Amino acid sequence: MFFIAVFARLANLMFVRNNRATHVFLDLCCKKCSYKTIISVLITGIIIFILKIRDSPEMYIIKWNMTENISCHYSTEDDALPLVDETFNPPEKSIFFHETSCRGGLSSRQACGVESAAKAHPDWQVNVFFSGPVSDFILKRSFLAKLLKYKNVKLMRIHLQEYAKGTPLESLVAASPYKKSAWRIEHTSDVLRYLTLYKYGGVYMDSDFVVVKPFDDLEKNWSGRESITAVVSGVMSFSRDSLGRQMAAATVENFKKNYNPNYWGYNGPGVITRVVKEMCFKTKKKKWIHGCNGFKVYDPEVFYPVYYKQNRLYFEAGRNLTTSEKTYAHHMWNHLTMKYSIPKTSPYAQLAKQYCPTVYEMYGDSFGV
């Protein structure tokens, strides 16, 4: 019965947009069927699940723990960072990172991502938005102070509900389905990436990238893909031109219409994938894989040169990782690799030493721990 319950849960998640299929699955499991029938149903469920996840790392994790603490998002105490308010007016050449985990600072990997972006883009503004407080002690005594030595880095605080006011996502952020998300930290990040691009335009990046080339010669409006099935939301650019504004508006509306609290990636890569496919299909350009109508979808080698199933390549001691000259950043698949150590002779360590040298030198053997 335990396995039946487990796969009933899988069925509910897999067929979240197809209630009839879910009910059929549950009915078959619950009726007095033979063991052969039950086993056949379970095997079918497993096969469908594998087919759905095989090409997207964003879709494969199921959350059982509903206790992620995001209380810091609603706290106003012990906050040393300036607030993002109506006076905030970033330049068009802006990169945005978000920290939503309530850790009160950045990990060494996150700090490396920020430094690499700032180092590669001296004439861009690199903004790091924290959804929870950062204390004066952490701001002045940690490596955050070293990041601020880059004149183009700004560390700022946002209050989520205030930040969403006056946008299409205002009511969703305040609603209980959002607050009861199975992925509270991640879904806050999903909300913020689309809200930020909607409000300001610019480039959004996940903080587990290492940037190796400036983005100046890329198109104005773009995203990347890590497979042939989905556009990925880990790095995106929506400019302030008409196409960028169209994409920003379409993504927040899609987020609002399709928000689902049970999926990891349904509200992140799912949003930009749906918007790009719909835009391309409307104009009869069914080959959305490279984008259309001026919106560019870059091939995996540009931002995701190592496929997620080969993520250990970044962490292998002595590995000589050869990537394309077309690569602008390396994604480290942090949710899959956060427990890996980073040997000094690994590709990740070598990238960090070159592209985020201040953070890497400060942490030394503790980098990535």
Give the tokens for residue 266. 């349904």
Biggest CA–CA distance in the chain, Å, is 69
Predicted confidence at residue 72, as pLDDT, reads 78
Predicted confidence at residue 263, as pLDDT, reads 74
User: Rounded to whole angstroms, how far apart are CA atoms 140 and 312?
Assistant: 35
pLDDT digit string (tens) for the chain, length 369 residues: 444 444 444 444 443 444 444 444 445 444 555 656 656 656 655 555 444 444 444 443 444 344 467 777 878 788 999 999 999 999 999 999 999 988 899 999 999 999 999 999 999 999 999 999 999 999 999 999 999 999 999 999 999 999 999 999 999 888 765 667 777 778 889 999 999 999 999 999 999 999 999 999 999 999 999 888 889 999 999 999 999 999 999 999 999 999 887 777 778 899 999 999 999 988 766 678 899 999 999 999 999 999 999 999 999 999 999 888 999 999 999 989 999 999 999 999 999 999 999 999 999 889 988
Sign of the CA dihedral with 155 first, then 158, 164, and 169 last:
positive
Give the closest residue to 10 by CA, choosing from 37, 46, 53: 46
CA distances from 201 to 145, 220, 322 (A): 27, 10, 33
Predicted confidence at residue 83, as pLDDT, reads 95
Please name the residues in contact with 329: beta carbons below 8 A apart, sequence gap of 6 or more: 116, 205, 209, 210, 211, 212, 213, 235, 302, 303
- The type of residue at 327 is T
End-to-end CA distance of the chain: 40
CA distances from 215 to 119, 171, 203 (A): 12, 34, 9
Predicted confidence at residue 52, as pLDDT, reads 46
Give the closest residue to 185 by CA, choosing from 271, 65, 57: 65
Predicted confidence at residue 267, as pLDDT, reads 83
DSSP string, 166-197: TSTTHHHHHSHHHHT-TTHHHHHHHHHHHHHH
Name beta bridge partners: 259.
none
Predicted confidence at residue 20, as pLDDT, reads 42
Residue corresponding to tokens 């809200």: 195
Predicted confidence at residue 260, as pLDDT, reads 82
Predicted confidence at residue 185, as pLDDT, reads 79
Predicted confidence at residue 56, as pLDDT, reads 44
CA dihedral 127, 129, 134, 139 (to 10 degrees): -10
Give the tokens for residue 93. 């050449």
94-99 and 222-225 beta bridge pairing: unpaired
Predicted confidence at residue 309, as pLDDT, reads 93
Give the tokens for residue 143. 């490596």
- The type of residue at 224 is G
Predicted confidence at residue 198, as pLDDT, reads 98
